[in-house]
């Protein structure tokens, strides 16, 4: 409230001090945006950046055959909870072979 008249100042117009604060906030946002743009532009000027991008792009291309039949490193796996020591080794080997034959790449065993 205004001390002299008791009127509430217009919150959109503000006082001179508030206007200065608003300008300061806007200028901080502009400075932050310019800094972000200049940092991003700096990445493209790093020597070898284009080479790294080209190698990454070339390394990520896979054939359709490789996609259809991925290596064991890229296949899904399972987490298997064992009932402690109460397991039959023959049955475990049978089940592990079954998982491998059906496309699973790894088994995480939690005894």
Give the start-to-end residue ranges of the domains of the chain: 16-58, 64-110
What is residue 101's predicted lDDT score, i.e. its pLDDT?
Answer: 93
56-82 as b/e, with b when 16 or more CB fall inside 10 Å?
Answer: eeeeeeeeeeeeeeeeeeeeeeeeeee
Rounded CA gap, 53 and 62, in Å?
Answer: 16
Block mean pLDDT (10 aa), the chain, length 111: 58 56 77 81 63 63 83 89 84 92 90 77
Rounded CA gap, 105 and 78, in Å?
Answer: 8
Stated pTM of the model: 0.41
What is residue 85's predicted lDDT score, i.e. its pLDDT?
Answer: 78
What is residue 1's predicted lDDT score, i.e. its pLDDT?
Answer: 52
Question: CB–CB of 78/107 below 8 Å?
Answer: yes
Give the position of tokens 């001090």. 17
Question: CB–CB of 100/69 below 8 Å?
Answer: no
What is residue 92's predicted lDDT score, i.e. its pLDDT?
Answer: 87
Helix (H, G, I), strand (E, B), or coil: what is residue 1? coil
């Amino acid at each position: 409230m205004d001390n002299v008249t008791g009127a509430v100042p217009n919150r959109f117009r503000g006082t001179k001090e508030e206007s200065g604060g608003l300008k300061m906030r806007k200028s901080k946002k502009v400075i932050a945006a310019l800094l972000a743009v200049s940092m991003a532009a700096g990445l493209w000027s790093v020597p070898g950046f284009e080479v790294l991008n080209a190698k990454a792009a070339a390394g990520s291309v896979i054939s359709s055959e490789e996609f259809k039949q991925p290596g064991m490193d890229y296949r899904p796996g399972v987490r298997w909870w064992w009932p402690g020591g109460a397991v039959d080794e023959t049955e475990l080997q049978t089940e592990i072979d079954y998982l491998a034959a059906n496309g699973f790449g790894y088994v995480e065993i939690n005894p």
